[in-house]
Structure formats: C-alpha cells, structure tokens
A and B are shown apart, each in its own frame.
Chain A
C-alpha cells in the first residue's frame, strides 16, 4: 500500500511539470503587426516625394497609365491616361489604408480610377452595370522598396505602382502623359510610321486601346500584328513589340505634332521617326472591294453598321444613331444590301420596332452594282430611291458620302467584317459587319 502510494505520488509529481514558454512564433500580437503593416505602407506611399507611376489593368482589357501622389492626410493627387483631359489635369481625391482581411488601399471618393470602374456606360463606354471591370479597392499583394503590387478586391484587376523619379514626376506634372494621344490628331484611317527608309501603316483604335499593323495583303487580319497599347510619358508603348524593317519597336516616344505640316515627329529606338497621314495605303488589297460585295451577294445577306460613317476624327459623324423613322421608331443600324434587286443594291437606315421585335426600312437609296477599279476601289452610283429618301439630316449626309466620286478602298478586319475607307482623303470610313 505504502509502495503503491509512493509510486502514485512520484508519478503525479513527475508529470505535473509545466511548460511556461508559449511564446508566439511572431514577435508581436496580430493587431500590432497589422498596425505596423498599415503604418509601413502609409510611410512608403506618402514617403515617395516624387509620387508613384501606376499601371492599371482592368479586367475588361486595356492598360491605363496613372500617376499618384499620396500625402499623410488621406489625400491623393492623380493623373490618368484615360483621355486628354485626365492626362493633364491633376485631380485630388481621398484614400485610406484599412485592414479588411488583408491590409488594403482604398480610394474612397471618386477619382480617375473610378472612371474606369464606373458602371454608367456614358462614363467609359463599358457594358451597363459593369464598366471596364476595374477596381478602386485593392489589397497589397507584394511590395518591395520601389514597387507595390495590388490586386482589386471586387473585380480582381491588377495594379502596379512603381516609385517615380524626379524627372518622371516633372514630366507627369508638365502634362507629358497626354503626348501619346497626339496620334489622334492624324485623322486618317491608316497612319504611317516612317523610320529612315522603313515604313509601316497602322490603325489606331482609342476605344479599345489597340493598334493594328497592316499585313502583307494590306488588311488587318494578322493577329500577330495587333497589340494593346498604353500611354507612357511622351508617347505610347506596346504590350507586344512590332518589327518594322529590321527594328523591333516597343515604344514610340517624344511625340510632337506640327499643325502646319500635319506631321508627328517622334523617337523610336533612339532614332528620329515620323507619323503621317495616309491617303493611299502602302499596300491595297485590290480584290477586297469585290470580295466584300460578293460575300453578302452570294448568301443573299446584307452588311450592317451601327455607327455609320466616321469622319474627321468623329465617330458617327452625322448622328445616324439619332435617326427616327416616320412612325417614330428608333434607329437600329445602316445596311448595305448587295443585289437587293437584280441590277441594284440597297443602302438604308433600318429602324427597330421593339413591340413586334422586327426591323423596318422606311426609305432607301438604290445604288447600281458598284464598279470595282483596277487600283482596288469600289465606286458607288445611285440608280434610284425606295420611298422618299430625305434630303437633309444624317441619312442624307451618309448617302452623300457613299456616292462621292473618289470611292472607297476596303480593308478586311475579320472573316465577316470590313472597313470601307474613303479614298478621297482617308478621313472617313464605315465599318461593315455581316452576321454570316
């Protein structure tokens, strides 16, 4: 009994040991570490006296260049490459660092960042209720002394902030971010980049932020010759470099536009370059006009265009989108219907009757079958009218452009779409699509 007790007692004593050391593997409690992280980010953001250059990658596509300057009282100044105004006018708004699951950077009143995210299609041209699917609340993904990687909390879009140098800060504040948009001053469908003896024609689309270089046939069909562009200080950069002659080009910088000569001077790979208007492309697809006409003619189909003619830098230059039919139906699209009759085509605005879910043609113009010239143009001549074609307004202006005597050359942009470009000055064009 005595032995047993002693054994029990010793056993209890033996195992009643105590481990006092339950130190956390971290040196501080989580709240303190979170505060430290937020403070460190605050110091890093506001401590960059020259500010930050940012690249924003909305989920809806495109890349936007930003300039940020944070201060210590929740204010941030911004520039954005969204348009020529936002690239030069510094706008101040509010930001805050907050711990929401991760340390996060929130831009909490409206700024240029929100322009990309705005669900209102009038703001950025994105889909209703979604915008360009960009973000304005980000969590910190990773960071080093001069680079911060951010991920959007709502759409998951990416953003990268890189500390700006003094020279870059000066360039941003003097408005050089807008220089790349000078390309829009050249209003022809194609623009020609010439570096020494090498030149290439390209099409520049500010709406989708893409640039397309012509292929060997003079069309825009080669996907390896299309790339997204973004604005850099003094010019534009490409996400995918382009080869011109023996040069590999990833940036065109130092853009300056001369109003008198209508020429942009620029620098490419440290060499002087020019960007000029193109009336006749370097390479015209001679067969494209007939191919375009015949594509719809053989399948008894028509070509349609929502925005009508683009002219002198203005999309839907004549305002066809505002047309209404005699019965007050809204405009839907313009059509060109090859072989509508045995000897004529049809060119007309089409109206949408939502009540019966049908399309109406109020009036139309009847072109002859076009003449296809040996230098690759299509010439349109009017044979007659269907109904009474208006003599004023958007429909009349569109008709007048169609029948201009110089005609059009055609650029194929996909299997079932062509851009029809005015041969007179290259500054008016219409994009035709087929549903087949």
Chain B
C-alpha cells in the first residue's frame, strides 16, 4: 500500500507539473491610441502658447476642441474658437492679468498661485436665456467662452459695443483668480462680518439695484461670502477705483430696503469690504491693491480706447 501511496503522490505531482501554461500575450501596450493625451502637428499657435505661457508660468491652453473639458455643459451646443482669435486673446490676458500681478506681486508669487489650465470656447454658452462667459474649477482650470466675439482696438470689425465682451472676460479671469487667492490664504472673517446676514441662495431673483442697495457689488456677490469676495476684487480691478467710488456714492435712498438696510449701512458695507480687500492684499501677498488696480485698468484701457 505504501508503494501505491508513494506512486499516487508522485503521479499527482506529475499531473500538477504538467499543468498548462497559457500564453495570454497582452499585445503591445506601448501603442494604445490616445494614451498620453491628444497629439497633433504643432503649429504657430502652439508655439506661441508654449513660449508665452507654458514655459514661463506652466500654464497650458487648450484651444482644440474637447467638450469633455466643459463638463458642466456637455449637453450644450458649443463650437471651438477661431484660430485667428487665440493669439490676440491670450496676448490680452497676459497684459491684463499676468503682467499686472507679476509686476505687483513678483514672478514667484504668480508662478506659485495661478490656474494652470485654460480652456477656450468659441461661442457663448447659452443657458436659460442667459450667457455664461466662463467658469473655473478647483482653482486649476478656467474655461473662457465667447472667444470668437472678442474684439479689441485694432481688430477687424471692432466697435465700442464689443467692450462688454472683453470686460466680462477679464471679470471672469480676475474673479477666478480672487477665489484662488482666498483658497490659498483665507480672507479674514471681518470681510463678510457686516454683510453676513444678507447672503442668500436666491441671488438670481435679485436685481442689480436691489443688490447694490443692500451693499453688494452685484447680485451674484450676494450669493455667499466667497462670491462676494471674488466679485468685489474682480470688479474693482476691471472697472477701476473711480467707478467703484461712483457706485458707492450712487447709493442714495431714503428709508430701508426690504431687508432693512439703510443707504448708510449699504455704503458702509461696501467700504468695509473694500478696506479688507486692500489690507488682505498687503498682508497676505504684499501687494499694493490700489497700484494693481491702476495698472489693470490702464492695461484694459490701452486695449479698448
């Protein structure tokens, strides 16, 4: 019996050893289509972006169409930008946003804190009768739409009526950048202290005037303290100090608003927020906000007037 047991054991081993090795070759994995991102023969625009934005600031610009980058609006009809628009738009952005911050905050500051990825959309994004001019995600990606209607002085077909598109685009960029600054070094709570009671998610139903009379620069600013911050910073930069002063001084009404705000209180709210913006830029980033404001406004005026 023992021999049989041994024989059986050996036999089992033999069978085990003779088990089958299946060659499931995975094939060549170093040539999966699309792996490593899209590629194309690089042209003049690619070179401009590389030289002006990617090499110095590590910012890339996606102008070739990929609707999945606009993932909030996958169901919307959109078109890519016109090629002849891309360099003028990026040149303007560099002047109004990059150069101004670099001049006031320094190269290192800007390289460290800037969105790294810009997506360009040619058409406006139409949504429920309104137009979305752009949006940002997570402090990294900024989507700019309506690029095909961007016209500044010297471009064919420019008229003063085009200024709105240009100003709104810079508004978007400065708005998103203000968010990133806030997310990097938190804005002190006293920014929103006096306005805190008036924030509402129902901002879409508030008119420009009603928002202003409650001490908010736009209705969107009334949606939350983060948006209030970004709207304050971006509009003060894009429109300049005289505009902001006029806006504050235009608050002249008697009595109180539906929210119980008086004209004095509304003015005080805006002035207090302005003061925090200026302090924050100085203390957090060592940037003179008024100087940045003058510089930004001057660059915008040079493009438009």
Contacts and interface: CB of A to CB of B under 8 A. Distances in A.
Interface in B236-251: none
Contact of A31 (B31, B41, B64): B31
A110 interface: yes
B79 interface: yes
Contact of A114 (B18, B32, B80): B80
A2 B4 contact: yes
B77 A117 contact: yes
B75 to A, nearest CB: 9
B28 interface: yes
B11 A109 contact: no
Contact of B79 (A16, A28, A117): A117
Contacts of B40: 73-74, 94, 96
Contact of A98 (B12, B15, B38): B38
B77 A154 contact: yes
B90 to A, nearest CB: 14
Nearest to B148: A110
B15 A99 contact: no
B33 interface: yes
Chain A interface mostly: loop
Given A35-B33, A119-B77, A9 B122 contact: no
B156 interface: no
A119 B11 CA distance: 76
Interface string A286-298: 0000000000000
Interface in A160-183: none
A99 B77 contact: no
Contacts of B117: none
A118 B67 CA distance: 14
Interface string B16-38: 00111011101111011110001
A12 interface: yes
Contact of B33 (A31, A72, A74, A131): A31
Contacts of A108: 64-66, 80
A337 to B, nearest CB: 31
Interface string B108-144: 0000000000000011101100000000000000000
B20 A18 contact: yes
Given A34-B33, A136-B65, A5 B22 contact: no
Contacts of B51: none
A415 B243 CA distance: 57
B8 A28 contact: no
A88 interface: no
B83 A94 contact: yes
A109 B82 contact: yes
A75 B42 CA distance: 11
A119 B64 contact: no
A130 interface: yes
B20 A31 contact: no
A150 to B, nearest CB: 16
A2 B41 CA distance: 75
A93 B85 CA distance: 13
A262 to B, nearest CB: 32
Contacts of A137: 65
Nearest to B14: A13
Contacts of B148: 110, 120
B81 interface: yes
Nearest to A34: B33
Nearest to B15: A16
Range, interface on chain B: 35 or more
Nearest to B129: A128
Contacts of A31: 27-29, 31-33
B78 interface: yes
Contact of A109 (B22, B27, B31, B80): B80
Chain B interface mostly: loop
A13 B67 CA distance: 59
A20 interface: yes
Interface string A1-27: 110010001001100101110100000
B203 interface: no
Contacts of A131: 77, 79
A129 interface: yes
A74 to B, nearest CB: 4
Nearest to A114: B79
Interface string A133-153: 100110000000000000000
Nearest to B149: A120
B281 interface: no
Contacts of B22: 20, 22
Nearest to B35: A31
B122 A110 contact: yes
A321 B81 CA distance: 30
Given A9-B8, A16-B15, A110 B20 contact: no
A72 B41 CA distance: 9
Nearest to B18: A16
Given A2-B4, A74-B40, A22 B64 contact: no
A129 B126 contact: yes
A118 B20 contact: no
A29 interface: yes
B33 A136 contact: no
Contacts of A75: 41, 43
B47 interface: no
Interface in A28-83: 28-29, 31-32, 34-35, 38, 72-75
24 contacts: A16-B19, A28-B27, A31-B28, A31-B32, A35-B31, A38-B33, A72-B41, A73-B40, A75-B43, A94-B43, A94-B64, A96-B38, A98-B33, A99-B34, A109-B63, A109-B80, A109-B81, A114-B79, A117-B79, A119-B76, A119-B123, A120-B123, A128-B126, A154-B77
Given A2-B4, A75-B41, 14 more contacts: A22-B22, A29-B27, A32-B31, A75-B43, A93-B83, A94-B83, A96-B38, A106-B65, A108-B64, A117-B79, A118-B123, A128-B126, A136-B80, A154-B67
Interface of A: 1-2, 5, 9, 12-13, 16, 18-20, 22, 28-29, 31-32, 34-35, 38, 72-75, 93-94, 96, 98-99, 106-110, 114, 117-120, 128-131, 133, 136-137, 154-155
Q: Which 10 A-B pairs have the closest CB atoms?
A: A29-B27, A18-B20, A129-B126, A73-B41, A110-B82, A108-B64, A108-B65, A74-B40, A119-B77, A114-B79
